[in-house]
Amino acid sequence: MGLLSLGTPLPWEEARKHADHVRKHGIIQFLNIWNRIKTRRKDHLLWGDEIEYVVVHYDEENKQPRVSLRAHDVLEKLQALEMDAIAKGEVFESSWKPEYGRYMLEGTPGLPYGYTLEDTLAVEESMRRRRELATSLLPPNEAVLTMTNFPLLGSCGFTEPSATATPDSGPSMSLFIPSEAINPHARFPTLTANIRERRGSKVSINMPIFKDKNTPSPWKEPAPSCLARSSTKSLSTAVAAGCSNGEVKATEQAAKSLDQEHLPSLPDLVPDALPDHIYMDAMCFGMGCCCLQVTFQACSVEEARLLYDQLAVVTPIMMALSAGAPIFRGYLADVDCRWNVISGSVDDRTVEERGLKPLDHSRFRIQKSRYDSISNYLSPGPNYSGGCSLSPDLAKIPVEQLSSIPSKGMEFYKDQYNDLNCPYDPKIYEQLREGGVDDLLAKHYAHLFIRDPLVVFKELLDQNDELSSDHFENIQSTNWQTMRFKPPPPSAPHIGWRVEFRSMEIQLTDTENAAFAVFVVLLVRAILSFDLNLYIPLSKVDENMQRAHSRDAVHREKFWFRRQVVGDPQRKLSELGCKCKGSTNQTVAQAIHGEGYVNGVANRDDPDAFDEMTLDEIMNGKPSTNFLGLVNLVRRYLKTHSEAIKEETRAKLDTYVDIVSRKASGDLQTGATWLRNFVTSHPEYKQDSVVSKKIAYDLCKAVEGLAGKKVKGLNC
């Protein structure tokens, strides 16, 4: 999780006074980086993955799984190993970072992977080694799981050692999450408290319950038994704090009449808790989930911008395929993904920013949480003359001579795709424009910089803006969007412009995690190699993001996607050596697929048209409209490059692509479906949406058993 500065964190009332200072210097720091490397165009397509783990402790006597807060000590040991290696001038095989939960670990490869297709294969072994290494530091009754959400997170007694939620104090004031579950590094409790204080109430998350045969309707969750142990005073404070529409006074009155002996249901107790929903009131419910992220280095800033845009369209699709979160706080949900939970869990917008009251003290009406889908395409920018990662010749040309190459300009970008009402700070925009940044990139950062810095360290207020990017990263790394556009840190001149793909849920097995990571890597190559154009209006990408949450989206949802993704069919046809005339989808489809692809009618539609398609169609193609599908494009990419790679490499890459293809066709289950089916077919399950401790125990044990294996129906 991003940058971790050290020092004395300021409480919100103090931190807010420095917001303008941090923003202003953050932009100066960005401009310094920008001016230093805006013209660099020879960086390799390196990449790396990030895996988040939850460490689980088994109470064998009571058959109950808990999250192990000792993971934090394991992290310290892992980091010590890494530091030892660095001290000896060696590269450690993996790198370990703290994550939000004290029970979590985050592991990346020690160094990013190389840029050849052969290098891509290192990923699964690296993931397997990371799991082994972390496991080797655990006692026998603990395990490292790659599970998007721990099924009992926030239910009574879910931590080991045991800890109690303190609804009237601590950073989250949660009814469910004890402070001890949060990583003790100053950044995390401060983020938690300052988000709550800036917002003016606790965060408020309601995910729909999965209604099974015996689930009451309406379903009102009984107040958890451990709440009855809280004092009336602490409950009243908690109830008032859990009122996010600002009507705290009335709520306080109601809370005074609480009777702990006979607590009402959660919806009757807490104004924010909705009937038929699983209510969550703390940052930990989202940031305590695990995900899979992939970062790429582009050869130039223009190529990074192109990849940012093209991949943004794919983020909901890959999230739906990687779905892994059907259970929250011990209940089956009617969704399969974590995203809306995590988005709500750090939503620091004030009542005014959320549009519930007219703007008075706040500056902007803001449509989205800081953790959300992107709101602006960047376009490749005015200086784009073609991707260079895969074209070494272009990379070798000095920047001054690039003007002699016919420019592709903004390539496929059109303003109509940026159709979201996206507020930006006009002062920041001006500062960036004056610094020589073009309109779209300036709008991007002026949008990210509408946010306040949440964690301000007293000692780090004054910095050398030439050498530091701390203020810039402060805002940048607390905008947790589906894609992140990352300039290199000033301290590492060897690093280039990077983009991070952030929407995927963690997979239960290393093979699946490797398959998803490799698929995105190959898709990046196909996008660059075939000049793909995936643009659709961002409002449609946002709709897709919501649809991606649906239970069993593979079978039950359709997603907006472009009908024609080969950006310039004429150019593509000539590159593919096809002499055929015309520029229909059909001829391109045939040129890419071969003669077999003839079923469909030629599509002479508006080339910008988009359609609703199933995940199977988007990935595996839709012959009736000659839509190729992303999997086929990736396969074609591999075919055209098979001479450059060993046969075993090709075979291994094919198996990864097959896994993703079969997840999309429904032939393999998503993690979410697998977990849901495990619960609903457990002998103790009463068809009432409840995931009991024993079910969760068996589930965690089963997931632990999957890790290094080939599992029929899931990854093979």
Most distant CA atoms of the chain, gap in Å:
82
CB nearer Mg ion, residue 294 or residue 299: 294
Q: Output the smallest distance, CB 61 to ligand ADP, in A.
A: 39
Whichever of 230 and 503 has its CB closer to ligand ADP, that residue is 503
Look at residue 112 and give the partner it binds from Mg ion, ligand ADP, none, a contact being a CB closer than 5 to 8 Å depending on partner kind: ligand ADP
Least distance from ligand ADP to the Cβ atom of residue 469, Å: 12
Least distance in Å: CB of 477 to Mg ion? 9
CB of 484 to ligand ADP, least distance (A): 7
How far apart are the C-alpha atoms of 268 and 274, rounded to whole Å? 9
Nearer Cβ to ligand ADP (152/318): 318
Q: What is the spatial distance between Cα 528 and Cα 534, in angstroms, rounded to a whole number?
A: 12
Q: What does 425 interact with, of Mg ion, ligand ADP, none (CB < 5 to 8 A by kind)?
A: none
Residue 414, number of CB atoms within 10 A of its CB: 12
Whole-Å CA distances, 278 to 154, 220, 266, 272: 11, 9, 9, 11
For residue 51, the minimal CB distance to ligand ADP (Å) is 9
Rounded least distance, CB 295 to ligand ADP, Å: 3
Q: How far is the CB of 48 from ligand ADP (least distance, A)?
A: 2
Q: Among 85, 91, 42, 33, which residue's Cα sits nearest to residue 466?
A: 33
- Exposure b/e, 162-173, CB count within 10 A at least 16 = b: ebebbbeebbbb
Which ranges constitute the DSSP H helices of 644-692? 647-665, 671-680
CB of 12 to ligand ADP, least distance (A): 24
Using CB distances below 5 to 8 A depending on partner kind, what does residue 49 bind out of Mg ion, ligand ADP, none? ligand ADP
Positions that interact with ligand ADP (CB under 6 A): 2, 46-50, 108-109, 112, 295-297, 495, 498
Q: CA-to-CA distance for 580 and 566, rounded, in angstroms?
A: 16
Q: Give the distance from CA 395 to its chain's centroid.
A: 31
Rounded least distance, CB 3 to Mg ion, Å: 11
Nearest-angstrom CA–CA distance, 691 and 332: 7
Q: How far apart are CA 237 and CA 270, in angstroms?
A: 11
Q: From CA 211, how far away is CA 190, in angstroms rounded?
A: 37
Query: In whole angstroms, what is the distance from residue 229 CA to residue 260 CA?
Result: 8
Beta-carbon contacts of residue 450 (< 8 Å; ≥ 6 apart): 363, 364, 366, 423, 424, 425
Which one, 49 or 542, has the nearer CB to ligand ADP?
Answer: 49
Which of 220-228, 285-293, 383-391, 463-471 is the region at the interface with Mg ion (rule: CB under 5 A)?
Answer: 285-293
Contact call for residue 29 and Mg ion (CB under 5 A)? no
Stretch that binds Mg ion, among 42-50, 303-311, 345-353, 586-594 (CB under 5 A): 42-50
Q: Which does 330 bind (CB under 5 to 8 A by kind): Mg ion, ligand ADP, none?
A: none
- How many residues of this chain interact with Mg ion, rule: CB under 5 A? 4
Q: Nearer Cβ to ligand ADP, position 48 or 189?
A: 48
106 interface partner picked from Mg ion, ligand ADP, none, CB below 5 to 8 A per type? Mg ion
d(CA 350, CA 510): 40
Contact of residue 344 among Mg ion, ligand ADP, none (CB under 5-8 Å per partner type)? none
The piece of 98-106, 181-189, 606-614, 683-691 that touches Mg ion (CB under 5 A) is 98-106
Tokens encoding 36: 């230093």
Identify any residues that bridge with 205 across adjacent strands, giving them in sequence order.
Answer: 280
How many CB atoms are located within 10 Å of the residue 456 CB?
A: 27
User: Residue 2's binding partner, choosing from Mg ion, ligand ADP, none, with beta-carbon cut-off 5 to 8 A by kind?
Assistant: ligand ADP
Question: Which C-beta is closer to ligand ADP: that of 108 or that of 201?
Answer: 108
- The option from Mg ion, ligand ADP, none interacting with 498 (CB < 5 to 8 A, set by class) reads ligand ADP
Rule CB under 5 A: choose which of 68, 148, 236, 293 binds Mg ion.
Answer: 293
Q: Which is nearer to Mg ion, 4 or 81 (CB)?
A: 4
Q: Is 1 in the site for Mg ion (CB under 5 A)?
A: yes
Smallest gap from Cβ 225 to Mg ion, in A, equals 33
Which string of DSSP letters, residue by residue, matches 619-637? HH-BGGGTB--HHHHHHHH
Print the binding letters for residues 48-77 with Mg ion: x by CB under 5 A, - otherwise. Answer: --x---------------------------
Assess contact for 578 and 587: CB atoms under 8 A: yes
End-to-end CA distance of the chain: 31
By beta carbon distance, the residue nearest ligand ADP is: 48
Q: Which does 411 bind (CB under 5 to 8 A by kind): ligand ADP, Mg ion, none?
A: none
| Binding partner at 348 among Mg ion, ligand ADP, none, C-beta below 5 to 8 Å by kind | none
Which residue's CB is nearer to Mg ion, number 149 or number 293? 293
Instruction: Pick between residue 148 and residue 614 the one whose CB is nearest to ligand ADP.
Output: 148
Q: How far is the CB of 468 from ligand ADP (least distance, A)?
A: 16
| Amino acid found at 435 | G
Beta carbons within 8 Å of 431's beta carbon, 6+ residues apart: 24, 27, 28, 31
Identify which of residues 498 and 676 has a Cβ nearer to ligand ADP in the complex: 498
Task: Report the length, in residues, of the chain.
Answer: 716
Cα 378 from Cα 439, distance rounded (Å): 9
Closest distance to ligand ADP from the beta carbon of 112 (Å)? 4
Closer residue to ligand ADP, CB minimum distance, 94 or 236: 94
Give me the least distance between CB of 97 and ligand ADP, in Å please.
6
d(C-alpha 206, C-alpha 285), whole Å:
11
- Cβ distance to ligand ADP smaller for residue 46 or 657: 46
Q: Residue 221: which of 328, 147, 324, 148 has the closest Cα? A: 328
> Residue 106, interface with Mg ion (CB under 5 A)?
yes
DSSP of 487-525 = PPPTT-TT---EEEE--PBPPSSHHHHHHHHHHHHHHHH
Q: Residue 1 or residue 591: which is nearer to Mg ion going by CB? A: 1
> What residue 315 binds from ligand ADP, Mg ion, none (CB within 5 to 8 A, per partner kind)?
none
Nearer to ligand ADP, 484 or 693 (CB): 484
User: Rounded to whole angstroms, how far apart are CA atoms 21 and 562?
Assistant: 43
| Residue 504 Cβ vs Mg ion, minimum distance, rounded to whole Å | 11
Would you give the distance in Å from CA 120 to the centre of its chain? 21
The radius of gyration computed from the CA coordinates of the chain, to the nearest angstrom, equals: 25
When the beta carbons of 87 and 492 are compared against ligand ADP, the nearer one is 492
The structure tokens 């590094």 sit at 185
| CA distance to 423, 613, 635, per residue, from 288 (Å) | 29, 33, 36
The CB-of-498 to ligand ADP minimum distance in angstroms stands at 5
Q: Is the peptide bond before 218 cis (omega within 30 degrees of 0)?
A: yes
Q: Which residues in this chain contact Mg ion in the complex, by CB under 5 A? A: 1, 50, 106, 293
